[in-house]
Chains A and B, each alone.
Chain A
Amino acid sequence: EVQLVESGGGLVQPGGSLRLSCAASGFTFSSYWMNWVRQAPGKGLEWVANIKQDGSEIYYVDSVKGRFTISRDSAKNSVYLQMHSLRAEDTAVYYCARGYYYGSPGDYWGQGTLVTVSS
């Protein structure tokens, strides 16, 4: 059974940093793109970033470029999202999702982890 479990969310002050983790199991992690998608309270879905199987291709939405970094560790079957210079508008539930190709947000999703940016 495919499982994606996010962790690392919480309350952080504006300008602060946070690192999200996503532990994957139930599939061959090294064979899939991985995505982060977020959803602000009461709003729609917004794709944040994705990373190719071997990490050789990475893409970000414009609003997080230069502030967020996606990475993966095949030895740990995990994908990460390092977030710096956080803003109030980054407040959202962050989902980890498995992509079947670069253009897909995900065929399996985790349950999400809430990031709140507030003073």
Chain B
Amino acid sequence: QSVLTQPPSASGTPGQRVTISCSGNRSNIGSNDVDWYQQLPGTAPKLLIYTNNQRPSGVPDRFSGSKSGTSASLVISGLQSEDEADYYCASWDDRAYGVFFGGGTKLTVL
């Protein structure tokens, strides 16, 4: 059972908009920033969104992040086949004194 809760799966067709949620509590998302990671099959994770809504250089603007209260969301607009991957949220927890990941969401492009 992960400290941060994500749906195990999500899907969409090319061009669609998909939202992946990440739910926490006051000691993690409610008090700290959220990062999002994309992991393509057989590769290391890649930072997609940092500090809730910032995109590193090179990440397409189809990817956006937001945070409200104790939840965060990753939105992928204009879904493409190469977006098929696992997506993870992460945040610091003030009570556990550690970084926690969500369980991951497997995105399928139909």
CB–CB A62/B2 < 8 A: no
CA–CA, A118 and B99, complex, Å: 28
**With contact pairs A47-B90, A105-B35, A109-B45 given, residues A61 and B101 touching in the complex (Cβ less than 8 Å):** no
**Residues of chain A contacted by B100 (CB below 8 angstroms):** 47
B30 CB-CB contact with A under 8 Å? no
Given contacts A104-B35, A107-B56, contact A44 B103 (CB under 8 A): yes
Whether B98 contacts A59 by the Cβ 8 Å rule is: yes
Beta-carbon contact of A105 and B90 below 8 Å:
yes
For the complex, give the distance between the alpha carbons of A110 and B43 in Å.
10
> Within B33-52, which residues are at the interface with A (CB < 8 Å)?
33, 35, 37, 39, 44-47, 50
Chain A interface, number of residues (Cβ within 8 angstroms): 24
Q: Is the CB of B99 within 8 A of A107?
A: no
**Cβ A35 vs Cβ B99 within 8 A:** yes
From residue A62, how far is it (CB to closest CB) to chain B in Å? 7
- With a cutoff of 8 Å between Cβ atoms, the chain B residues found around residue A112 in the complex are 44
- Residues from chain B with a CB closer than 8 A to the CB of A108 are 47
Chain B, interface SS category: strand
**Least distance between B95 CB and chain A CB atoms (Å):** 12
B47: chain A residues within 8 A (beta carbon): 106-108
Chain B residues whose C-beta falls within 8 Å of the C-beta of A60 in the assembled complex: 98
Residues of chain B having any CB pair with chain A under 8 Å: 2, 32-33, 35, 37, 39, 44-47, 50, 56, 86, 88, 90-92, 96-104
Residues of A within 8 A of B (CB): 35, 37, 44-47, 50, 59-62, 95, 100, 102-112
The 8 A-B residue pairs with the shortest CB-CB distance, nearest first, are A103-B92, A47-B99, A44-B104, A109-B44, A45-B101, A107-B47, A105-B90, A105-B99
Can you list 30 A-B contacts (CB < 8 A)?
A: A35-B99, A37-B45, A44-B102, A44-B103, A45-B37, A45-B45, A45-B88, A47-B90, A47-B98, A47-B99, A50-B99, A59-B97, A59-B99, A60-B98, A102-B92, A103-B32, A103-B33, A103-B91, A103-B92, A104-B35, A104-B99, A105-B35, A105-B101, A106-B45, A106-B47, A107-B47, A107-B50, A107-B56, A108-B47, A109-B45
